[in-house]
Structure 1
Amino acid sequence: MNKVENIISVINYIEEHLSEKLTLSSIAKSVGYSKYHLHRIFSDTVGLSIHDYVQRRQLTEAAKLLVFSDRPILEIALISGYESQQAFTNIFRQMYKKSPNEYRSDEEFYPLQLKFDLKAGSPQNHTMMDAKENISFATAEDIPVWMDLVHLVVDGFPHLNESEYLMTLKEYIRKKQALILKSEGIAVAVMTISHNTGSIDFFGVHPLYRNSNIARLFLDKLMNELLADRSISITTFREGDKADTGYRDAYLNLGFAEAELLTEFGYPTQRLILAKEAGGNTDDAP
């Protein structure tokens, strides 16, 4: 099996044992890998450590039970692999910004982490230095592969409601404000933008292409073609947010600078700005 197929088998094991206390050691022993090897290939492929992935999956399933069942919170905590209601409440509040009771009262479910659904034939990570000309406006036919990618990067978008997102996406496509880069039948990267505000409203890159130059290719297209007359902005996690899996640092490394603090859909975020003169020619960026 190649690396992707190995990770698929590990993810399937995790999904079958989400109600148990899962650790790197226990998972490695069960799937027959060394802890070092499992940690390395999982983090390289998924972009999260085993610990973070398991924690986020268990909390997501707990959030679902809080909204769609009447099970006691202590029972949900135990089902989610926690030994006490207090331990569960502490981490739930860190990640969801609400206590389990508050989350249940709001009656609105959203996932921290969906099952990482890689296809066995997914392309291996590689650079795409010549791909800028392949970035195109998305069409309605692209929606299925677009949503496949959204499911892989949902960790970067707190409070994402899939049905509402789909309606909004169709409007972006109609206005030619949705960009997509595809390879071998999958969406490698997707982005929605607002011409009026100069904002990037959604940006996701397939995990297997994280180490490529794709983010800079998209920014270069915006700065030199689509939003050439304005500064570009994006909102992301605030500094120190435990739910951030690395998005904030990634944007700062691309040249974005901190701007005002915001609250979106009840979630604390921060606006970042990429001024044209600060971004320069992204083709030459490291």
Structure 2
Amino acid sequence: MHGQSVSIVSQAIRYIEDHLDKKLDLETVAAALHYSKYHLHRIFAKIVGLTVHEYVQRRQLTEAAKLLAFSKRSIMEIALSSGYESQQAFTSSFKAMYKMTPAEFRTAEEFYPLQLEIHLSKEPTKMDFTKDDIQFATVEDINDWMELVQLTIDGYPRLDEVDYMEKLSFYIADKRALILRDEGMVIGIMGFSTETRSIDFLAVHPQYRNAGIEKVFLDKLADELLTGKEISLTTYREGDKADTGYREKYLRLGFAERELLTEYGYPTQRFVLPPKDKEEV
């Protein structure tokens, strides 16, 4: 049954990708595929981790940002080709996600994606992972690692892929890059710093977001690699429209809010997980 759901969602994604220049909503996509919109909404959100509306909006704004950065088309033209009926509505949505107006984004000339096309794989074969399943990444894992980064781009505000790749090589060499696979497919990755005791990047495959994999990585870190240490990470600020649920997830895992930051020009907030050994804070 799950395999059938993956097939349906893949069809929905394909339809969306082929019609990004049109006004799209759940009802339109469901009707095109001849599925119940309620059924499609449920399985799409479960498998992708985003609703159809969220996926469409993020994909259309990403393509709009690309046009702003690399074309000379007018903002009004880009707005219409992104499914918006007015420049005002487009500007409002764009600023909520990119933290600047379309005109300011064009002037900055620094493109980064909110959401890339999601390619779903086979259905999960295992959901009961433990920290013993996690391994240190090697250089042979880099291509598969980056494929997962592409799938989870929503968790990387202002990702500079070139800079990320350079850092990843150092993390792998220093044994600060962890990876989790399910029958060969990379489903979880984590890069951490022993000096700052921070998680510098963490991602889980969309199809495994309900498998508790973040907790498994945290157990590996707290029990074996940063034992007795306070662990921190940064994520979206409260109310950020670009957040697809990361703040809520980290709070559920026991992280506490700390100071507001700005990283690579993007507003973020530091979160802290108290050590399992309460003596060190």
Q: What TM-score does the superposition give when structure 2 sets the normalisation length?
A: 0.95
Q: Which amino acid in the other structure matches residue 218 of structure 1?
A: F
**Alignment equivalent of 1:109, drawn from 97, 101, 111:** 111
2:101 alignment counterpart = 99
Could you say which residue in structure 1 is the equivalent of 2:61? Answer: 59
1:85 to 77, 84, 87: 87
Q: Is the 8 A contact 1:125 1:208 kept in 2?
A: no
The answer to whether the Cα contact below 8 Å between 1:236 and 1:248 also exists between their aligned partners in 2 is yes
**Structure 2 letter corresponding to 1:109:** F
Q: What's the offset of the Cα at 1:204? A: 0.4
Contact kept in structure 2, 1:126 and 1:209, CA below 8 Å: no
SS of residue paired to 1:158: coil
Helix, strand or coil for the counterpart of 1:196?
A: coil
Measure the CA separation in 1 of the matches of 2:12 and 2:218.
Answer: 34
* Residue in 2 that maps onto 1:263: 262
Q: Partners in 1 of 2:157 and 2:91 — Cα distance?
A: 18
SS of the equivalent of 1:20 reads coil
- SS class of match (2:118): coil
Aligned structure 1 segments of 4 or more residues deviating by more than 3 angstroms? 277-280
Counterpart residue type for residue 215 of structure 1: E
Report the number of matched residues: 277
Three-state SS of the structure 2 residue aligned to 1:33 is: coil
Alignment partners' CA distance in 2, 1:231 and 1:94: 33
Counterparts of 1:260 and 1:278 in 2: how far apart (Å)?
A: 23
Instruction: Select the residue among 9, 14, 17 that pairs with 1:15.
Output: 17
Q: Residue 273 of structure 1 aligns to a residue in which SS? A: strand
C-alpha distance in 1 between matches for 2:228 and 2:73: 54
The two structures, once aligned, show a CA RMSD in angstroms of: 1.5
Kindly report which structure 2 residues correspond to 1:1-286, keeping only aligned pairs within 5 A, or say none.
2-119=4-121, 122-124=122-124, 126-129=126-129, 131-277=130-276
Shift of 1:224: 1.3
Given that 2:134 and 2:180 are in contact with CA atoms closer than 8 Å, whether structure 1 keeps it comes out as yes
Change (3 A) 1:197 1:3: same
Letter paired with 2:255: F
Unaligned runs of 5+ in 2: none
Gaps of 5+ in 1: 281-286
Identity %: 57
CA–CA distance in structure 2, aligned partners of residues 9 and 123 of structure 1: 15
Q: Distance in 2 between matches of 1:139 and 1:166?
A: 13
Offset of residue 125 of structure 1: 7.1
* Conserved 8 A contact 2:222-2:276: no
Contact 1:126 1:211 (8 Å CA) reproduced: no
Q: Distance in 2 between matches of 1:236 and 1:124?
A: 27
CA distance in 2, matches of 1:279, 1:112: 38
Q: Distance in 2 between matches of 1:79 and 1:168?
A: 36
TM-score computed with the length of structure 1 as normaliser: 0.94
